[in-house]
C-alpha cells in the first residue's frame, strides 16, 4: 500500500501542484489575486486553466465540471469533456480560462424561489479560487458559486463567502483598535464531526421508506436498542472497519483530513471527524465527504444513512460544527491569552459571539431547520430546540465578577479590570464537558451541535458569521469613538454581559425544567418545528442585519424562505405518500395473509376437535381485525389530508397543514402498524425489522 503522505491530496490541484506547474510569475499573481479577492484577469485564467488541464489529463481525466451547491442541499455537476477538434481532424484536450472562470449550466430546474423566471433559464457559475479543484473519477471538479443573471445568489456558497468577508471586515476593525496592524485577514474555521448510520444494502433495498425518504417510517421497537450503551466507542466490526479504511483512503486522496472515527451511541451509528479548516473549504469538503461515504458504502454492500433520524427510539445523527475565528498570522481569537491585553481582546471576541447568539437565536435555529432535523431537536438525546450557550464554570465566574465589580473567587481573590489585569487562567479543557448544550465553548472554539447530519454546514456558518460580524460592528462603532479605550472597553463588556447573560446556561439542557426556565423566565425562543423557525427569517431585524452585513439581499431572503419551506412540505409529503403506499401494498396484505392463516388454523382445529374453543386464534384474529380497521382508517384519513394539502395554494399554509395535521396523522398510522408488526408472525412481515437493520451488519 502507498504511504499516506504520498497519497494525501494526490487528487487535488493544490498549492503544491500549482507551485510546481505554474510559471513563477503566474503563481505569484494567482496568489495575490486570491488574497485580495480581486477578479482574475483572462491571461492568468488561461495559464491556470491550461496547467489544470494537463495535470488532470495526465491523471486520466477526460471531463471537467463546475461543481456547485444549489439550494437543493446537494452538490450539482454537469460534465463537459476537454475534447476539442484539432485542425488535422483529430482531437486535442483543451481547457480555457473562460471555461475555468465561468460556466452557464441550464439552471431552470434548480430551485430559485422566484428569483429567476424559468424563461430566463440561464444562471452562471463562477470559480471560487480559494477552494482547490479536485479530481473525482475521470472528472476535474472546479468549486464554483452559482448565481442568477441578475447576480442573485442561487446557492449556499455565495452567501457563505459574503459572510466570511463581513466577519473579516469587522474583526479587522477590532484588531486595529487593539493596536494590531500586521494582521491582514480574519478567517473563520470549521471542523465538522459527521454522524451516520450503516445498514446492510440488501435489507435496505427491501424497505421503500428507506429508499424514498432515507428514514424508516415504520418499525416496532426491537427488544434491544441502545440502553446498554455498549456501542459507543465499542470495537468496530470488520465490515465497518473495511468501509472506514477505504473511506479514509478516498478522503485522503482528496486532501480531506479524515482524523477520528468511532462507533456512536446508537447501534449501527458511527462518526467521522475531520481536521478543521477555512469555512468555505470545510463546507465543500463536508459535501464531498458525504457523497463519498455513500459511494464507498455501496462497494461494501452497505448503505450510508445520513438522515437525521433514520430510526425512532434510538439516537439521531447530527453534525457538530466546531467554529472559531483566527488571523492570517495564526492567532486563534477565541483562545484566552497570557497578557492583560490579550485577555481583554479575547473577552471582547467572546462577548461578540454571546451577543450574536442571543440576538440571532432565531437565525441560528432556522439555519438548521429541516423536516429531518425536526425529529431530532428536542428529542431526548439531542440538543433542545432552545438555543443557549455553555461557557463552563470558570469563564462564567469571570464574567460574573466583571458584571458585579466583585472580586473573582478564583485562585487569587481579586477585582478584574479589563485591559490592565491578567485574567485568572481558565483551564483549556474544562472537566465539566457539557454534552447537552446546543452551543458549547470548548476551550478555544464553539461547538454548535444543532446541525443535522444531512445538512450542508454552509447555512449555520453563514448565519453565525453574519451575526458575529454584526456584534463586532456595533462594538467597533462604539470603541472607535471612545476617549479612553480601556474604560470604554470595560463598560462595553460589562454592559454586554448584563444584556445577554440570559443566553448562558451551564446546566443540563435536556431537562424539562430548563426549557420552562428558558422560555418563561429568560424569554428565550423555543422554535420547535421548521415552519415555526422559518417564520422568523423575514423578521425586520433579521432582514436589516443580513442586508447590512452584505450577506443577503432582501429578495434572496424571500426566495430562501420559499425554498426552505417548499423543501419541508415536499419532504413530508413524500413520506406521507410512502406510508400510505406501504400500508396498502405491504402491511395490510401481510396482516390479512396472517389473519387468513390463523382463520384456517381455526377451521382445521375444529375439524379435528369440534369442541375446541380456539381461544388463542380467536383472540389474535380479533386483535388483528381491529388493528387492520384502524390502520385502514388512518391511511384513508391521511390520504384525504394529502389531497387537502395539494389544494392549498400557499406554501406557508401548506407547511402549517403538514405540521398540524399530516405529521400527527402519520404518527397515528405508524403506531397502529407497529402494533400489528408485534402481533404478526415473522415470516409474514413484508420487510426487514428494526432488529434486522440495527444489528444486521
Interface residues with ligand ADP (CB under 6 A) are: 189-191, 193, 273-276, 322-324, 332, 442, 444-445
Nearest-approach distance from CB 292 to ligand ADP, in angstroms: 17
Do residues 453 and 194 lie in contact, with contact meaning Cβ atoms separated by under 8 Å? yes
Q: Give how far Cα 383 sits from Cα of 448, 511, 512, 514, Å.
A: 10, 10, 12, 12
By beta-carbon proximity to ligand ADP, the closer residue of 10 and 332 is: 332
**Whole-number Å distance between alpha carbons of 25 and 692:** 61
At residue 518, the 3 state secondary structure works out as helix
CB contact set of 692 (below 8 Å; sequence gap of 6+): 203
Closer Cβ to ligand ADP, 69 or 289, answer by number: 289
323 vs 360, beta carbon nearer ligand ADP = 323
Q: Are 696 and 200 in contact (CB under 8 A)?
A: yes
| Residue with Cβ nearer ligand ADP (445 or 501) | 445
**Residues 397, 409 contacting (CB under 8 angstroms):** yes
Smallest gap from residue 464 Cβ to ligand ADP (A): 12
- Which residue, 274 or 579, is less far from ligand ADP as judged by CB? 274
Q: Which is nearer to ligand ADP, 444 or 630 (CB)?
A: 444
The span from the CA of 285 to the CA of 579, in Å, is 34
CB of 457 to ligand ADP, least distance (A): 11
Complex with ligand ADP: residue 26 or 258, whichever CB lies closer: 258
Closest CA relative to residue 563, chosen from 38, 153, 95, 7:
153
**Shortest Å distance, C-beta 442 to ligand ADP:** 4
Render the burial of 291-330: b for 16+ CB within 10 Å, e for the rest. ebbeebbeebebbbbbbbbbbbbbbbbbbbbbbbbbbeee
> CA separation (Å) from 234 to 229, 262, 268?
9, 8, 11
Cell 477578479, residue located: 39
Calpha distance 156→74 (Å, rounded): 10
Q: By the 8 A CB rule, do 388 and 515 touch?
A: no
CB of 136 to ligand ADP, least distance (A): 23
Give the residue with the Cβ less far from ligand ADP, 62 or 444.
444
Alpha carbon separation from 102 to 63, 153, 213, 688 (Å, rounded) = 16, 15, 35, 48
Nearer to ligand ADP, 274 or 303 (CB): 274
Bridge-partner residues for 408, per DSSP? Answer: 414
Residue 516, Cβ neighbours under 10 Å: how many?
11
Residues near 59 by beta carbon (within 8 Å), at least 6 away in sequence: 11, 135
Least separation in angstroms between CB 240 and ligand ADP: 20
Q: Which is nearer to ligand ADP, 194 or 689 (CB)?
A: 194
Least Å from the CB of residue 348 to ligand ADP: 18
Grid-cell match 452538490, residue found: 75
Nearest-approach distance from CB 517 to ligand ADP, in angstroms? 27
Min dist. Cβ of residue 72 to ligand ADP (A): 26
For residue 218, the minimal CB distance to ligand ADP (Å) is 35
Q: Can you tell me which residue has the cell 458575529?
A: 468
d(CA 140, CA 429): 42
If the CB atoms of residues 447 and 575 are measured against ligand ADP, the closer one turns out to be: 447
Residue sitting closest to ligand ADP (CB): 191
Entry field: residues in the chain: 697
Q: Where does 193-253 have alpha helices with state H?
A: 201-205, 208-213, 238-253
434/580 with CB nearer ligand ADP: 434
Smallest distance from the beta carbon of 325 to ligand ADP, in angstroms?
A: 8
DSSP 8-state assignment for residue 662? I
CB of 334 to ligand ADP, least distance (A): 7
Amino acid at each position: 500500500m502507498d504511504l499516506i503522505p504520498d497519497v494525501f491530496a494526490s487528487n487535488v490541484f493544490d498549492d503544491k501542484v500549482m507551485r510546481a506547474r505554474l510559471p513563477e510569475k503566474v503563481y505569484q499573481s494567482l496568489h495575490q489575486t486570491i488574497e485580495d479577492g480581486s477578479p482574475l484577469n483572462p491571461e492568468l485564467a488561461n495559464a491556470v486553466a491550461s496547467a489544470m488541464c494537463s495535470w488532470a489529463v495526465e491523471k486520466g481525466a477526460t471531463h471537467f465540471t463546475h461543481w456547485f451547491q444549489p439550494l437543493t442541499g446537494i452538490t450539482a455537476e454537469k460534465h463537459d469533456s476537454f475534447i476539442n477538434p484539432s485542425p488535422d481532424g483529430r482531437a486535442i484536450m483543451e481547457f480555457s480560462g473562460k471555461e475555468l472562470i465561468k460556466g452557464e449550466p441550464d439552471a431552470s430546474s434548480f430551485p430559485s424561489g422566484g428569483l429567476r423566471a424559468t424563461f430566463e433559464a440561464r444562471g452562471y457559475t463562477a470559480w471560487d479560487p480559494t477552494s482547490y479543484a479536485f479530481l473525482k473519477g475521470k472528472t476535474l471538479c472546479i468549486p464554483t458559486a452559482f448565481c442568477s443573471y441578475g447576480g442573485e445568489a442561487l446557492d449556499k456558497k455565495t452567501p457563505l463567502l459574503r459572510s466570511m468577508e463581513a466577519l473579516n471586515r469587522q474583526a479587522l476593525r477590532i484588531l486595529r483598535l487593539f493596536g494590531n496592524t500586521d494582521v491582514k485577514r480574519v478567517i473563520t474555521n470549521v471542523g465538522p464531526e459527521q454522524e451516520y448510520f450503516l445498514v446492510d444494502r440488501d435489507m435496505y433495498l427491501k424497505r421503500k421508506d428507506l429508499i424514498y425518504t432515507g428514514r424508516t417510517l415504520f418499525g416496532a421497537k426491537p427488544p434491544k436498542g441502545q440502553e446498554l450503551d455498549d456501542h459507543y466507542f465499542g470495537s468496530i466490526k470488520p465490515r465497518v472497519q473495511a468501509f472506514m479504511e477505504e473511506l479514509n483512503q478516498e478522503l485522503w486522496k482528496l486532501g480531506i483530513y479524515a482524523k477520528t472515527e468511532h462507533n456512536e451511541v446508537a447501534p449501527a451509528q458511527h462518526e467521522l471527524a475531520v481536521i478543521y479548516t477555512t469555512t468555505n473549504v470545510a463546507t465543500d469538503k463536508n459535501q464531498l465527504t458525504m457523497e463519498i461515504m455513500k459511494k464507498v458504502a455501496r462497494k461494501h454492500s452497505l448503505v450510508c444513512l445520513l438522515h437525521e433520524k433514520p430510526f425512532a427510539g434510538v439516537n439521531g445523527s447530527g453534525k457538530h460544527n466546531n467554529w472559531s475565528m483566527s488571523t492570517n498570522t495564526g492567532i486563534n481569537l477565541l483562545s484566552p491569552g497570557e497578557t492583560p491585553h490579550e485577555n481583554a481582546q479575547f473577552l471582547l471576541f467572546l462577548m461578540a459571539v454571546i451577543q450574536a447568539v442571543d440576538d440571532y437565536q432565531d437565525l441560528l435555529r432556522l439555519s438548521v431547520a429541516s423536516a429531518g432535523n425536526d425529529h431530532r431537536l428536542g428529542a431526548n438525546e439531542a440538543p433542545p430546540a432552545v438555543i443557549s450557550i455553555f461557557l463552563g464554570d470558570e469563564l462564567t465566574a469571570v464574567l460574573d465578577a466583571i458584571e458585579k465589580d466583585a472580586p473573582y473567587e478564583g485562585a487569587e481573590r481579586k477585582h478584574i479590570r479589563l485591559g490592565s489585569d491578567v485574567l485568572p487562567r481558565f483551564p483549556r479543557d474544562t472537566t465539566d464537558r457539557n454534552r447537552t448544550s446546543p452551543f458549547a465553548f470548548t476551550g478555544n472554539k464553539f461547538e454548535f451541535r444543532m446541525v443535522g447530519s444531512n445538512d450542508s454546514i454552509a447555512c449555520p456558518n453563514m448565519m453565525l458569521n453574519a451575526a458575529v460580524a454584526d456584534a463586532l460592528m456595533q462594538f467597533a462603532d462604539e470603541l472607535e469613538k471612545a476617549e479612553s479605550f480601556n474604560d470604554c472597553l470595560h463598560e462595553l463588556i460589562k454592559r454586554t454581559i448584563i444584556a445577554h447573560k440570559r443566553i448562558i446556561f451551564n446546566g443540563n439542557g435536556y431537562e424539562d425544567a430548563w426549557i420552562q426556565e428558558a422560555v418563561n423566565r429568560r424569554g428565550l425562543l423555543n422554535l420547535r418545528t421548521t415552519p415555526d423557525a422559518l417564520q422568523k427569517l423575514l423578521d425586520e431585524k433579521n432582514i436589516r442585519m443580513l442586508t447590512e452585513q452584505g450577506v443577503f439581499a432582501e429578495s434572496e431572503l424571500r426566495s430562501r424562505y420559499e425554498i426552505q419551506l417548499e423543501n419541508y412540505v415536499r419532504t413530508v409529503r413524500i413520506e406521507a405518500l410512502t406510508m400510505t403506499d406501504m400500508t396498502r401494498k405491504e402491511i395490510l396484505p401481510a396482516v390479512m395473509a396472517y389473519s387468513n392463516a390463523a382463520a384456517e388454523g381455526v377451521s382445521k382445529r375444529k375439524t379435528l376437535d369440534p369442541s375446541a374453543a380456539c381461544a388463542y386464534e380467536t383472540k389474535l384474529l380479533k386483535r388483528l381485525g381491529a388493528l387492520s380497521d384502524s390502520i385502514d382508517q388512518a391511511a384513508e384519513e391521511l390520504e384525504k389530508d394529502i389531497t387537502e394539502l395539494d389544494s392549498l395554494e400557499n406554501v406557508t399554509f401548506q407547511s402549517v397543514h403538514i405540521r398540524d395535521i399530516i405529521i400527527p396523522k402519520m404518527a397515528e398510522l405508524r403506531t397502529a402498524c407497529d402494533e400489528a408488526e408485534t402481533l404478526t408472525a415473522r415470516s409474514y412481515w413484508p420487510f426487514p425489522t428494526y432488529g434486522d437493520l440495527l444489528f444486521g451488519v
